[in-house]
Amino acid sequence: MTAGPLAGIRVVELGGIGPAPFCGMLLADLGAEVVRIDRPGEAGRASPHPVILRGRSSVALDLKAPEGAEAARKLIARSDAVVEGFRPGVAERLGLGPDVLLAADPALVYGRMTGWGQDGPLAQEPGHDINYIAVAGALHTIGAADGDPVAPLNLVGDFGGGGMLLALGLVSALLHARATGVGQVVDAAMTDGTALLLAMTYGFLAQGAWQDRRGANVLDGGAPFYAVYRCADDRHIAVGAIEPQFYAALLHVLGLDTDERFARQRDRSNWPAMKAELTRIFATRTRDDWAERFEGQGACVSPVLSLTEAPEHPHNTARATFRRGPHGGHEPAPAPRFTATPPGDPAPAPPVGADTVRVLTALAGLTPEDVDTLREKGIVG
Catalytic residues: 128, 158
- Whether the CB-CB separation of 377 and 67 falls below 8 Å is answered with yes
Angle 97-350-110 from CA coordinates, rounded to 5°: 20
Q: Which helix (H) or strand (E) holds 322?
A: strand 322-324
Q: Is the dihedral of CA 187, 193, 199, 201 positive or negative?
A: negative
Q: 3-class DSSP state for residue 141?
A: helix
Pairing of strands 109-114, 184-189: parallel
Q: Is 34 helix (H, G, I), strand (E, B) or coil?
A: strand
- Please state, as a whole number, how many other Cβ atoms lie within 10 Å of the Cβ of residue 102: 17
Task: Give the integer Cα–Cα distance in Å for 171 and 6.
Answer: 9
**CB-CB contact of 51 with 325 (8 Å):** yes
Query: 115-123 long-range contacts, Cβ below 8 Å, gap at least 24?
Result: 115/157, 115/162, 115/189, 115/190, 115/191, 116/189, 116/190, 116/191, 117/187, 117/189, 117/191, 117/192, 118/88, 118/187, 118/189, 119/88, 123/87, 123/88
Q: How many CB atoms lie within 10 A of CB 81?
A: 25
Please enumerate in sequence order all residues whose Cβ is within 8 A of that of 192, keeping only pairs 6 or more positions apart, or say none: 117, 136, 161, 165
Q: Cα separation of 160 and 97, whole Å? A: 25
Q: Which of 86, 95, 96, 91 is nearest to 124 (CA)?
A: 86
Question: What span, in angstroms and rounded, lies between the C-alpha atoms of 289 and 268?
Answer: 29
Give the integer Cα–Cα distance in Å for 346 and 3.
10
Strands of the sheet containing 226-230, edge to edge, are 226-230, 236-240, 301-303
Bridge partners (DSSP) listed for residue 114? 189
